[in-house]
Amino acid sequence: MSDSAVLGKPTILSAGECDRGKMRQVNQDSILHLNIPLGELLIVSDGIGGENAAGVSSSKRVVEQIYSYLLDLPPLYEADKAIREAVTRANAKITSDDKQPEVLQMRIGTAVAVAIVRQEAEGTCAWIGYVGDCRAYLVRAGRLSRLTFDHSGVQSLLNRSLITPEEVYHHPDTGVLTRSLGVEPEVEIDIEKHPLAVGDTLVLCSDGLWDSVSDKEIERMASGATVESSARDLLDRALEAGGRDNISIVMARVSEARVVPRKSDVQTTLLKLVIVVFVMAAIGLGVLTYLTFFAP
């Protein structure tokens, strides 16, 4: 778990789980959640390319490239600009490195969702950037809402009302993406800003979760006592449902402000304690002296 706190501001708690599932031989997903100068950083990356090591390499490189770029930016850097630059550079790096004929033939791609949760003038906000079918959900007051829309052929059919929401999960082309990293030299990134309140939980996940666990179950399990237990419960449920794909979950929860005493306050408290101890000792010594020498 990681957490970030600013004096007098809500605390951001985060946790994550990543598992290869029961059916895959390798784990082509990668995750990251930690605090950087920009805020609490969450990343879920899903490598595409069948049962080959290139998919694993692709997802890990995406996470590493995005993280290394964002880590060096100052705290007040614009979050949406930071995400766009980081994802764009990661895509350029991967497409530049993967020009070998055998790699191009396999058409390696990567879906990714990136979130920066931080305090801004208007309060706590989550900036979310995504490409592909890694999703972001928000749980507020026990109710789940989806914040992202897949870049996939099935989503396009749904947008045109050619299939129903229920058919999305059983359509043969569910995994066919219309947008991903590492395939073309340039990639379009969707970035949105969402205000957060104390008690809100943000969930980023790969299709290994949302394709096997219902929205109602995600809603219930993401509302657990802690982000660690919630992430673990979601992973366990996806495995119970068959674990047909790699499963990745990263969560962030906005908690009550954690009051951290100022250094001067601590020093003042210690000084008062020393004075009290000294006074009590002096009184005790005075009483002992009286009882010893002056008491009748």
Question: Hey, what amino acid is at 182?
Answer: G
Residues 281 and 154 in one domain: no
What's the confidence (pLDDT) of residue 233?
98
Asked if 181 and 275 sit in the same domain, the reply is: no
Q: How many domains does the chain have?
A: 2
* Contact (Cβ atoms closer than 8 angstroms) between residue 139 and residue 200: yes
pLDDT per residue over 70-114, tens digit each? 999 999 999 999 999 999 999 999 888 766 555 444 556 899 999
- Asked if 267 and 174 sit in the same domain, the reply is no
Beta bridge partners of 116: 41, 127
Token pair in block for residue 198 = 């104390």
Instruction: Clarify whether residues 112 and 228 are in a common domain.
Output: yes
Considering Cα of 147, then 168, then 186, then 94, what sign does the dihedral take? Answer: positive
pLDDT tens digit string along 54-69? Answer: 556 789 999 999 999 9
Which amino acid type is present at position 62? V
Is residue 223 domain-shared with residue 131, that is, in the same domain?
A: yes
Nearest to 98 by CA among 71, 65, 125: 65
Angle between helices 79-97 and 53-71 (to 10 degrees): 140
Distance CA 239, CA 186 (A): 35
Please tell me whether residues 250 and 265 are part of one structural domain. Answer: no
Q: Is there a single domain that holds both residue 245 and residue 265?
A: no
SS3 annotation, 11-25: EEEEEEEEECCCCCC
* Pairing label, strands 39-48, 109-120: antiparallel
Is the predicted pLDDT of residue 270 greater than 60, yes or no? yes
Nearest to 110 by CA among 169, 57, 171: 57
Please tell me whether residues 159 and 291 are part of one structural domain: no
Burial (Cβ within 10 Å: 0-12, 13-18, ≥19) of residue 20: middle
In angstroms, the first-to-last Cα distance of the chain is 67
Are residues 168 and 228 both part of a single domain?
yes
The reply to whether 219 and 266 lie within a common domain is: no
Domain extent at residue 108: 2-255
Is there a single domain that holds both residue 73 and residue 179?
Answer: yes
Q: Assign residue 189 the CATH number of its domain.
A: 3.60.40.10
Give the three-class secondary structure for 32.
strand
Instruction: Indicate if 282 and 136 belong to the same structural domain.
Output: no
Q: What is the pLDDT of residue 277?
A: 62
Q: Does pLDDT of 12 surpass 60?
A: yes
Instruction: Give CA–CA dist 159/175, Å, rounded.
Output: 16
Encoded tokens for 179? 């947008």
